[in-house]
Structure 1
């Protein structure tokens, strides 16, 4: 059975900064709960197309995982578990400052998993920022047992992971010197 999960968050930062942050695979482990001890085990980076002109103006320089990038992460499935599970992922779509999608490969906790990260400029209370939308489509392994596990624990765990992620990304981006102003567009990088 296919399941769907969607969450959105507004951040007071320009689209270019928010997208660049999420497109850098090194930023994934800090966005996961510490108890999972997420590590990037392998990374085969495929460069994305050249950045749009506005990013040159903002002087953003970071690594981005373009379409075709493959990575293997490992994580602990439950707190204090000594066993680490591998998860193969591949970037299957990438459009600068709009969206990118990753899909689970051969190894991972789900039978299938597609996670698209969408960014869109949005004004709130007179300030221009970015709405980030995470859109997941996935199915569980192990047939009926997997579905029971979904309803007992996995559904709530996924929501909890994205709550944690939203809180953490806001804290991390608060350290960046680039913020949107009062509707006048992005501030300049320092």
Structure 2
């Protein structure tokens, strides 16, 4: 649990867990360790040559149990992402729970259906793969 928590509570590791195709860049992160109230700024590529700024706050932290990042401004009307950690017989299970609302009413719903839902599925599928890669590499190097 300590190793998993340390990895996920280091904001700069988010870059390692985001597919390169997303065009994700952290533009501001004053602290290398996560804490409640921490502000993190990013840029993401939403289309070729079109970047959107995204500002989030770590709004809640319960050490080695969960943390929440909430959008202050960015591409969504609402973004509330809860990361939960639970030890089990196989190690640690990390669960992402994301609640979001698209902006722009019916136009946002159309963009969601055509693009955003598929993109988010890709991001979290890839994140699952990258997490397994990071932690199996750590396990392999520890033996």
TM-score w.r.t. structure 2 length?
0.91
Gaps of 5+ in 1: 1-14, 46-62, 180-188
Q: Work out whether 1:26 is the aligned partner of 2:26.
A: no
| TM superposition shift of 1:178 | 8.3
3-state SS in 1 of match to 2:3:
helix
**Match in the other structure for 2:66:** 99
**Match in the other structure for 1:115:** 81
Q: Work out whether 1:89 is the aligned partner of 2:75.
A: no
Larger proportion of helix: 2
| TM superposition shift of 1:116 | 0.5
3-state SS in 2 of match to 1:138:
strand
Provide, for residues 6-31 of structure 1, a one-character-per-residue CA deviation record: whole Å limited to 9, x for no partner: xxxxxxxxx22112111101101121
3-state SS in 2 of match to 1:76:
strand
Cα RMSD of the aligned pairs, angstroms, is 1.8
For residues 83 and 67 of structure 1, the distance between their equivalents in structure 2, rounded to whole angstroms, comes to 31
Q: Following TM superposition, where does structure 1 have runs of at least 4 consecutive aligned residues deviating by more than 6 angstroms?
A: none
Number of equivalenced pairs: 143
TM-score w.r.t. structure 1 length?
0.70
**Matched ranges for 1:41-80 at <5 A:** 41-45=27-31, 63-78=32-47
Larger proportion of strand: 2
Q: Work out whether 1:17 is the aligned partner of 2:3.
A: yes
For residues 22 and 104 of structure 1, the distance between their equivalents in structure 2, rounded to whole angstroms, comes to 18
For residues 21 and 122 of structure 2, the distance between their equivalents in structure 1, rounded to whole angstroms, comes to 13
Inter-CA distance 94–178: structure 2 relative to 1 (3 Å threshold):
farther
| TM superposition shift of 1:64 | 2.3
3-state SS in 2 of match to 1:97:
coil
Q: Which structure carries more relative contact order (alpha carbon 8 Å, separation 6+)?
A: 1
